[in-house]
Amino acid sequence: MINIIKSQIQPLKLSQSDNQAKMHQGDIVNVLGVAGSMRKGSFSTHTLKLVLEEAKKYGSDSRVLELREVRLPIYDPSGSVSEELYRDVNGNRENVLDTVTTAIKWADAFVLASPDYHGSMSGAMKNFLDYFWEEFAGKTFGYIIASHEKGLTVADQMRTSVRQCYGWSMPYNVSINGADDFDSSGNPINSTLANRIKMLARDLVTYGTLIRRQFLQDVMTKEVSHSYASRYREYYN
């Protein structure tokens, strides 16, 4: 029904050091939306695309990663996943983990969008989060939940995972109650939701830029030792 931002994980050519230089020059922040619903016509994914569209107005480069399209295998810490298990949604063999990792490294800030499944995030979202650690540190996260009950526990659980990886979280969520919140064209039917979508987009770009810039500066300034950022020097080398 709704396709505002064409699903895409474009080839990402920036290296980590390019990204650091970019942030220091005060350039635009890269926002990656991660859609955690496997359902076609998902309301959380639709709302995510509205936020990403809005974020572009504040100067971000916004892209969307739909987990239903990349189908990461269940994370195995022993790393013994067979290449054969990596297939795109059409069954073509592709190491989607490489594609997803490139997108994660490209991002300066994230929006995680999940359905409420039994008061928790979707399995697809949790599986995605399990793959990454250092990649999330010093980056800011916003949250969208499709729920009939506001999905506060869902957001809390996503926040906990992000905090565990030293990511920063926006202090509020965007919650949507399925079809009740949108008209037939996919526009929010109430101004409170419409304003909250704009607020998340604006705040994520604004605070996300500040936090990422300071984090990268602390990573690169060897004299700074009393910052959690100093632990990530090896990773960013």
Site of interaction with ligand FMN (CB under 6 A): 37, 39, 42-45, 115-119, 146-149, 178
Least gap, CB of 47 to ligand FMN (angstroms): 8
Measured distance CA(37)–CA(128) in Å, rounded: 12
Residue nearer to ligand FMN on the CB measure, 137 or 174? 174
Residue nearer to ligand FMN on the CB measure, 118 or 226? 118
Residue nearer to ligand FMN on the CB measure, 145 or 211? 145
Residue nearer to ligand FMN on the CB measure, 30 or 42? 42
Q: How far apart are the two ends of the chain, measured CA to CA in Å?
A: 44
Least gap, CB of 151 to ligand FMN (angstroms): 7
Least gap, CB of 111 to ligand FMN (angstroms): 13
Q: Nearest residue to ligand FMN, using CB?
A: 115
Residue nearer to ligand FMN on the CB measure, 20 or 147? 147
Helix 123-130 to helix 152-164 angle (10° resolution) is 10
Least gap, CB of 196 to ligand FMN (angstroms): 17
Q: What angle do CA 157, 67, 201 make, to 5 degrees?
A: 65
Residue nearer to ligand FMN on the CB measure, 57 or 148? 148
DSSP codes, 152-210: HHHHHHHHHHHHHTT-EE-SS-EEE-GGGGB-TTS-BSSHHHHHHHHHHHHHHHHHHHH
Least gap, CB of 153 to ligand FMN (angstroms): 9
Residue 95 CB neighbours (<10 A): 14
> Distance of CA 179 to CAs 45, 75, 189, Å?
13, 32, 10
Measured distance CA(200)–CA(1) in Å, rounded: 23
How many angstroms from the chain centroid is the CA of residue 168? 12
Least gap, CB of 42 to ligand FMN (angstroms): 3
Measured distance CA(213)–CA(203) in Å, rounded: 15
